[in-house]
Amino acid sequence: MKKQEAAWAAIALLCICWFKALPAPPMVSHAALRPDPLPAQRARSAGQAFFVDGRNGSDQNPGSEKSPWKTIRHAFSHLKAGATLYLRGGVYFENVYCALAGNKTAPVTVRAFPGEQAVIDGGLREFQEAPGEAWQPYPTGGPEEYRSTRAYPNMRDFVGAFGDSMIGLQTYWHAMDLRGASELSEPGPNGDVKPLYCGPGLWYDRKSGHIHVRLSHTKLQDMDNYRSETDPRKVPLILAPYKSVPLHIDDARHVRFQDLIIRGGGYETVVMTNGFDVEFDNVIIRGGTYCMRTENTVKLKFYRSAMYGNAPPWAFRGDSSLRARPGRKTRDLARLTCHALWVTNTGREYSVHAFPANDDWDISYSEFTDSHDGLYLGGIGLRFHHNLVDNFQDDGIYLSPMYSYGPKAVLHIHQNIFRRALTTLAFGGPEDTQDRVFIYRNYFDMRGKVNYGRPSAQNPKPGLEYSRVIGDHGGPTWSSMLFYHNTFVMVAGTDSSMGVLGHLKKGFPRKVFNNIFVHQLGLPGLHPAVAEMDAQADGNLYWSPKSDANLATKYFSLYRTSAAFANSKKIYAPGFDRHSLVADPQFFSGGDDIRLKNGSPAIDAGVALPADWPDPLRAMDKGRPDIGACPLGSAPMRVGRDAAK
């Protein structure tokens, strides 16, 4: 046994060295925003093993290592509790249905073979494997327009991406926009805009069944433009039919997915319904319109994985926003291009599968990036920690409730880094909520800009907007929230709390304790006096590099002699912000290292918090609590796939 283990270790080391020595394949389209990871070197699992090889296998084989099956779909019909299915390296052009059933002590595992990259792809293989034969010029269309060589009749639509960089293609709703002569928004007839080219993309002609593509360059000011290959015959493209679902997990139980890439989804890349004890470990999900839709699933683990959207860097929020509302004469432009990463549903009363509600989810050490919207997490018993949330043209995380009956949720959002989202924490929808959300030890870096407004003929500069912490869509009730031990850095905010103490409603408590709020352009006015609305705030540190000693001294002096401060003692005995201060927190560096230096005024300056408020760093924070996400002596904050132990 020891000799076998030594042999496998030697082989793994050789594989690592070999893969590291290989040059990265040249990008024909554009530099990748989120490159695929190298093949994993995970040791083989114990227990019964089966194998699939899409190039050399046959579904008539027994599924052994020497005689593997060919398709995952066939393999899934033969797996039982305790089995491990190894996918040999390659791309599996399949839509896989998974209702596998392991048990608590013997789950079913589906994984890549050690040192090999296995990809489940729901796209049409000819556009990746033989693009030179898949397209032909279409001179009667727009500039640099091509049409698929063959027809694909009676389809609904297609969603796509560059096959090398995985940057998304716009799915145009109208041929006029694919063929548009301008990238600048200009008023057109009937209150709409003139034909508008939004970058490389597709349009499906339902009359002929042909797919049209245009890869013309973009030429916007101050943008990461598309400047590469314009002939689709020279670059692989991932084109997925609207209803392509590469992985549908349906009432699967005790199943593990490991070391995989899943891509080529149309409307949805992964669908999971009524799952129990399902785990993703080192799985990259590339989004179509959505990366994953999940409902009625209990005990879900998403670890060391990623959901990467396909929003291209030359696209704007308005390109994929809802424009064709009732009563408007405006048309949608490219609304199928990654609308959101993760959407959660739960059964309604009229549904046969109304329960179980989504519950007991752990999402950790993962990455969620590059989309219009991010994750819909409201209404779930959930732990969301050590994740990177970055680059959303609209909302980062929705905390809206998903149902109006059944068990109320408790959400824990901690030790994450949030960057570049127009609204990082968002609320929307008609449901009232009794959910309780704990938000602690996070770093909200709101200094980045997002692609908000497409430039116009009158103003050709792109509309880039700074990120904000929190907001809503139309005034829904915000959940009861506890913000404590977070660090917020923002360019400019409307009030000192960056909106965290906004939009209050009686009966929905908001508690804001021991947070650092840094405003780059100047410290705005104190957040409004909101004591009568079940709000409490204390032990916070407010600062701006443009503040001075005079402001630091006077910031709270007037407020603490006011009637509002006296009134606040009715619900918080010391009084609202009684122990808060204005001071330079003295971070470890001017970059992203938000640890506190020795001598920081944030050390031992917070207020004691209830013992039942979870805090993974409480034991190391000696003395009175330090203010902010990282107490003195803590390790640098690390999130995402590479930070996992």
530: pLDDT strictly greater than 70: no
> Which tens digit of pLDDT belongs to each residue from 495-512?
999 999 988 888 889 999
48: pLDDT strictly greater than 90: yes
540 three-class SS:
coil
Calculate mean pLDDT across residues 350-355. 81
Calculate mean pLDDT across residues 241-265. 98
Q: Which of 15-19, 42-46, 252-256 has the lowest mean pLDDT?
A: 15-19
Calculate mean pLDDT across residues 235-245. 98
530 or 625, greater pLDDT: 625
Q: Is 496 exposed, middle or buried (0-12, 13-18, 19+ CB in 10 A)?
A: buried
d(CA 169, CA 165): 11
Calculate mean pLDDT across residues 248-268. 98
pLDDT confidence of residue 513: 98
Dihedral over alpha carbons 338, 340, 346, 347 (to 10 degrees):
-30
Calculate mean pLDDT across residues 589-598. 86
pLDDT confidence of residue 407: 64
pLDDT confidence of residue 590: 66
Q: Is 185 exposed, middle or buried (0-12, 13-18, 19+ CB in 10 A)?
A: buried
Give bridge partners of residue 447 from the DSSP assignment.
Answer: none
For residue 641, give both structure tokens.
């796939």
pLDDT confidence of residue 476: 75
Confidence of residue 547 (pLDDT cuts 50, 70, 90): confident
Calculate mean pLDDT across residues 324-341. 90
Please name which of 279, 282, 284 lies closest in space to residue 264, comparing C-alpha atoms: 284
Calculate mean pLDDT across residues 542-565. 87
Calculate mean pLDDT across residues 226-248. 98
Dihedral sign of CA atoms 518, 523, 528, 531 in order: positive
pLDDT confidence of residue 18: 41
DSSP string, 567-636: HHTTTSTT-TTTT-EE----BSSSSS--PBPTT-TTTT-S----TTS--TTGGG--SSPPSSSS-TTPPP
* Contacts with 327 (C-beta within 8 Å, 6 or more apart), sequence order: none
Confidence of residue 430 (pLDDT cuts 50, 70, 90): low
Which of the given ranges, 88-92, 531-535, 633-637, has the highest pLDDT on average? Answer: 88-92
Residues 382 and 416: beta-carbon distance below 8 Å = no
Average confidence score pLDDT of the chain: 91
Residues 443 and 468: beta-carbon distance below 8 Å = no
pLDDT confidence of residue 564: 85
Q: Which 8-state DSSP code applies to residue 527? A: P
Calculate mean pLDDT across residues 545-566. 86
pLDDT confidence of residue 614: 97
Prediction pTM value: 0.94
Confidence of residue 542 (pLDDT cuts 50, 70, 90): very high
Q: Cα–chain-centroid distance for residue 28?
A: 26
pLDDT confidence of residue 248: 98
Residue 566 CB-half CA count within 13 A: 4
pLDDT confidence of residue 434: 76
The CB density around residue 321, as the number of other CB atoms within 10 Å, is 15
Please name which of 125, 96, 124 lies closest in space to residue 110, comparing C-alpha atoms: 96
The CB density around residue 455, as the number of other CB atoms within 10 Å, is 18
Dihedral over alpha carbons 58, 63, 68, 73 (to 10 degrees):
60
Give bridge partners of residue 240 from the DSSP assignment.
Answer: 159
Alpha helices in 107-192 (DSSP H): 126-129, 131-134, 175-178
> Which tens digit of pLDDT belongs to each residue from 4-42?
544 444 444 444 444 334 445 678 999 999 999 999 999
* Distance (Å) of CA 295 to CA 122, 292, 413, 504: 21, 10, 20, 30
455 or 7, greater pLDDT: 455
